Amino acid sequence: MESGMPLSGGQRALIRESWQRLSGSPEQHGLVLFTRLFDLDPGLLPLFQYNCKQFASPQECLSAPEFLDHIRKVMLVIDAAVSHLENLSCLEEYLCNLGKKHQAVGVKVESFSTVGESLLYMLEKCLGAAFSPEVQEAWSKLYSAVVKAMQRGWETLPEGD
């Protein structure tokens, strides 16, 4: 899995260090990420349904136990990417399948740019002064590599009518 521009050793260190600072409360940080996501694109809310229940508001969704479980899973995927910075290609098949699952529930590839913006927002808010331009660039490269792998899940499915 190549992002076009592989991460340097320094960038991998910045990602690991910044992620370590956030590891104590992944659910709390995930809530920051998803709150921002719904602020940027409220149209994504209908994608999150559990037991055929449609949420009336982002706040209702963000407090649902099923959605908190989704947040934990998202944070685990980020953790896996950070844990495999030296060899992101070992996550290729997993991320491709994750992309297929997201497509199946109606997520559009274009939404990943909003998710990326929300991820960077969360990192900035939660890291404070430690969120330097170098940290932002490193995370942007990592996120780009993850999204490219997930997009392959779309590419392997036949186009709908």
CA distance 109 to 154: 8
Confirm whether 3 is domain-assigned.
Answer: no
Confirm whether 25 is domain-assigned.
Answer: yes
State residue 53's pLDDT score.
83
Confirm whether 158 is domain-assigned.
Answer: no
State residue 156's pLDDT score.
64
Give pLDDT tens digits for 129-156.
999 999 999 999 999 999 999 998 887 6
C-alpha dist (Å) from residue 123 to 47, 72, 107: 24, 16, 23
DSSP state of 140: H
Give pLDDT tens digits for 43-58.
999 999 887 788 999 9
Task: Judge whether residue 121 has pLDDT over 90.
Answer: yes
Give pLDDT tens digits for 63-112.
999 999 999 999 999 999 999 998 888 999 999 999 999 999 889 988 99
CA distance 95 to 100: 9
Confirm whether 5 is domain-assigned.
Answer: no
What does the block give as tokens for 20?
């370590």
Task: Judge whether residue 159 has pLDDT over 80.
Answer: no
Range of the domain at 63: 10-153
State residue 158's pLDDT score.
54
State residue 27's pLDDT score.
92
State residue 81's pLDDT score.
94
Based on the structure, what is the number of domains in the chain?
1
Confirm whether 19 is domain-assigned.
Answer: yes
Asked if residue 17 lies in contact with residue 84, where contact means CB atoms within 8 angstroms, the answer is: no
State residue 125's pLDDT score.
97
Confirm whether 18 is domain-assigned.
Answer: yes
Closest CA to 109 of 155, 72, 141, 160: 155
The three-state secondary structure class of 111 is: helix
CATH number, position 120: 1.10.490.10
Listed as own residue / partner, the contacts of 42-51 with beta carbons closer than 8 Å and 24 or more positions apart are 44/111, 44/114, 47/105, 47/106, 47/107
Confirm whether 23 is domain-assigned.
Answer: yes
Task: Judge whether residue 3 has pLDDT over 50.
Answer: no
Q: How many CB atoms lie within 10 A of CB 67?
A: 19
Confirm whether 80 is domain-assigned.
Answer: yes
